[in-house]
Amino acid sequence: MQLARVIGDVVATRKDPGFDSIPLLLLQPIAADGTSVGRLVVAVDSVGAGVGETVFFVRGKEASFPFHPTEMAADAAIVGIVDQPRIFTD
């Protein structure tokens, strides 16, 4: 799992029927201290996250697991919302 900040919604005029009624969100991966790391990611939302929230997301085959038994052709999925983000320092 990785941390990310939701920075926007993705609007698609056409998408695979398997994605009907499943929101697509734009994520900025972040480090534990909240700094941006890496490229933006488009992810399917399985938890009802919104813009501005900090979330956990997974990549690869695990991205389809929240939608089981439906087979989802997704590379990234939001699987949790961070209620109280904390900065971890030594």
Going from N- to C-terminal start, the domains of the chain cover 2-12+21-81
The residue assigned the tokens 């900025």 is 28
- Cα dihedral 28/41/67/20 (nearest 10): 110
Q: What is the pLDDT of residues 50-86, one digit of tens each?
A: 999 999 999 988 888 888 887 778 899 999 999 876 6
CATH code of domain 2-12+21-81:
2.40.50.220
Q: What is the pLDDT of residues 21-41, one digit of tens each?
A: 889 999 999 998 889 999 999
Tell me the whole-structure pTM to 2 decimals: 0.86
The residue assigned the tokens 């997974």 is 58
DSSP code at position 13: S
Cα–Cα distances in angstroms (integers) from residue 5 to residues 30, 54, 66, 81, in the given order: 7, 5, 20, 10
Local confidence band at 12 (pLDDT 50, 70, 90 cut-offs): confident
- Please give the average per-residue pLDDT across 1-30, as a whole number: 91
DSSP code at position 29: E
Structure tokens that stand for 85 in this block: 């983000």
